[in-house]
Structure 1
Amino acid sequence: MDTKITLSFDQEVIEKAKVYAASQGISLSRLTEFLFEKITSNPKSYEKLEDIPIADFVYQLAEEQAVYKTKAKSLRSMKSEFYESRK
């Protein structure tokens, strides 16, 4: 069941995240849900923010420092896995 929440982000971060989500064929809401699911699925693995594998992606959006690249095949696989878990 989907539940609505309200979050506040810097406008530039939101715009960049929307572009990224669109390039992946998902909504910003689903991208956010996907990221939250990844970091909360095994909380003991991520004691600090820097331990989270998506930290570079978050920093890229916020600070424009890292260039986050993945292979299209593995990204599709992750997206398919995510959508399958939503059924």
Structure 2
Amino acid sequence: LQHVHKSLRKDKSIVLQAIRQNGSALEFADQSLKKDKLIVLKAVNKDSGALKFVDESIKKEIEDKRLSIFQKRLVVNRKKLNEKR
């Protein structure tokens, strides 16, 4: 994504392809896509370091969503562990 024409950095499908390979490719996406929750969540789930490239207007919401998902996984894993005992 770093080396493609700027117009392609606005193309959602191209950006999605890039972040499937490397979440930090979000750095080179058009600013409008750094506000797109689908794009941002996929990027951050692939590489948590991509969070630094997320638009400030949604960063807190994305962090909260990731924390919620993490907490739910902990609960599920705890239940599975207790069932095995």
Normalising by structure 1, what TM-score? Answer: 0.25
Q: Tell me which structure has the larger Cα radius of gyration.
A: 2
TM-score by length of 2: 0.25
Higher RCO (C-alpha under 8 Å, 6+ residues apart)? 2
